[in-house]
Structure formats: structure tokens, C-alpha cells
Amino acid sequence: MTPSILIVGATGNTGRAVAQTLPTLLQSSSSLSGHRVIALTRSSSSPVARELAKLPGVEVIEQNWAEITADWLREHQVVRAFIASHIEPSQFAEESTFHLNALYGGVKYVVRISTTAANVRPDCPAYYPRQHWAIESLLGSPEFDSLQWTSLQPNVFSPLIMSPAVDFIKKFRETGEQDTLRLPLSKDAPVGIIDPDEIGVIAAHLLSLDDTSAYNKAKYVLNGPEDITGMQIVAMVEQHIGTPVKDVSYKDVSFIDMVYEYKYAATKESKNVIYSIKRAPEASWEGKCSASTASPGVLGLAAPGRTPGGTLKALLEG
């Protein structure tokens, strides 16, 4: 069996682009051209998994990543790995277990997806960025020195920000009626939202490097090429519907209420913990997440190019 590069979450927001991009990059690598790409998924019968399975050099394996052991990694000869974990309250326990098994299983380099850089701190009011801070602190400890790693700290995903505008436009075109346009951004604070596919492309470039030492223990802030504000989204919507938007709710995080009701209310998860997600956008409302905060050290690999307008267009046509 030949050495492999593992993609955890290969059918997810960022992992899909990693799986689509990495095989081609490996072909021009002097040391990795013979490596397999293992695309991990919970369901190999999903449409995305079936499409990935058609790519040359990609092997789709159905496996719960949280149950991966050091023996499993050795058996599949995994030497590098990508992981985009969930943000459930169990994230730290499960992702730290994965990295520990990577350490003992012979993995040499891991690229992981973190979250908004301004939130990755021990005192963030929202719970899940504290988990990312804890993971990065764990990986940065002397005990993990033999495992090279890079943590990508992307700003908020552009489809999440633009989807309310898309839904608003589509409904108006169908019915001629307007609901409240609920936007998670503030009215005027600029935010460098980023397309998740472009995050995956950057991760693929990192995984394909012959020498990763220059990126070891690095944390890179990823933003899109242009800032967007809530007010600018409203202007885009008005351009598409040809009339003023009657009612706008900025800094709107009411969707968390629905998430809790439909996903967590019947579970034992703490409502206090889940509702802390409502405070995650505060850094962006304070102007701490503009495109200017992007880390220049990673832009040379594959600079993001999709603008907010491009995202809106793609979502409307999709």
C-alpha cells in the first residue's frame, strides 16, 4: 500500500474543494506524486462522495473520523491529513483525540480549519472558538513537536452571510412580497467574508508542498478579496428586486433560536452553551474582521478571488 493523504470531512464545506484540488497538485510534486488521496465520508453513497470517487487518485472511504485510531492511520499509511471538524460541544474531545492518534500513528503534517481569528482566544463569549483556541494550544505544546501543523482561521463563510439575501430575492421574485431581511452583519462594519471552496484550495496547496516546515505551527487568517457591510447587501438586494427593501434587521442572530429548537432542545446539550453562539459575530460588528486582516504569508499559495457579488450571483443561479 502506498502512502496516503487523508481528508476528513471530504464532502463538507471546505473538504470537498481539498479533495477536488489536491490530486492535480500532487502530480507536479517531486516527493508526493505517488501518494493516494483518501476522502473520508460518513456516507459513500451521497452525491458528493460519488463524484469524488470518480476523480483519479481519490479513494472514498466510509468512516466516522472521531473513531479513527493510531492503528487505523498506520494501516492506511496516512502521512498527511486535513481536518475540518464540527463545532459541537464535543469538538475538543474528538478533535484532540484525532490529533493525538495522528501523533502516535505516524502522521507528519496536519492542516486544520479553525474559525474567525478575532474570536480564537480563551475569553471569547461564544463557546466554539474557545475550543479552537484549546486545540491550537494543544498542538503548539512541546509534546506535539513531532507533528507539524497549520491552522487556517477563515472569516465567516460567504454563503452563510449571503443566503438571507438570496432567499429574500427569490421569494420576492415568486410572490412580489417582502419579509424582513434578516442580516447577521451590522449595518456598516466591513467584513471580509470568504468562500469555503477557496479555503479548501489553500489547504490543498499546503498539503501538496514538498517541504511544509515553513508553515509549521502557523496560524493564518483567511478573508475574501473584498469587504462587505450589511448596508451594501441591502443595496445589492434592491438592485436585484428593483425596489427599496422595506424592513431590515441588522445584527440578526435569531436563526440560533431555530437551530436550538430543532437540533438541541430534545438533547442534553446546555442551552447556555449553545446560545453563546449568538455572541460569535460581535468581533465582526466591532470592525475586527475586515479583509485587511488576512495573513499575507498564505496568499501567495492561492489568493481567494470570489467577491460577495460573485457569491450572490452563484447562489441565485444555483
Neighbours of 143 (CB within 10 A): 11
**Residue 215 grid coordinates:** 508553515
**Cβ contacts of 43 within 8 Å, gap of 6 or more:** 11, 49, 62
Residue where the block lists cell 474567525:
116
Residue where the block lists cell 428593483:
242
Instruction: Give 217-273 as a DSSP string.
Output: TEEEEE--SS-B-HHHHHHHHHHHHTS--S-EESS--THHHHHIIIIITTSSS-HHH
H helix or E strand, kind and range, residue 295: none
Q: What is the pLDDT of residue 30?
A: 83
**Rounded to an integer, what distance in angstroms lies between the CA atom of residue 136 and that of residue 139?**
5
Q: What is the pLDDT of residue 151?
A: 98
Q: What is the pLDDT of residue 300?
A: 87
Nearest to 96 by CA among 137, 150, 64, 57: 137
Predicted structure pTM score: 0.95
CA quadruple 91, 96, 97, 101: dihedral positive or negative? Answer: positive
Q: What is the pLDDT of residue 89?
A: 96
Report strand pairing: 181-182 vs 148-154.
unpaired
Q: What is the pLDDT of residue 299?
A: 83
Report strand pairing: 78-83 vs 4-8.
parallel
**Rounded to an integer, what distance in angstroms lies between the CA atom of residue 115 and that of residue 119?**
7
**Residue 44 grid coordinates:** 459513500
Q: What is the pLDDT of residue 28?
A: 87
Residue where the block lists cell 424582513:
180
Q: What is the pLDDT of residue 154?
A: 97
Q: What is the pLDDT of residue 134?
A: 98
**Domain edges within the chain:** 4-156+195-222, 158-191+227-286+305-317
CATH code for residues 4-156+195-222: 3.40.50.720
8 Å CB contact between 38 and 59: yes
H helix or E strand, kind and range, residue 316: helix 308-317
Q: In this structure, which amino acid lies at residue 207?
A: L
Ordered mean pLDDT values, 10 residues apiece, the chain (318 residues): 93 95 92 93 91 93 96 98 96 98 98 98 98 98 98 96 97 96 98 97 97 96 97 98 98 95 93 97 97 90 95 94
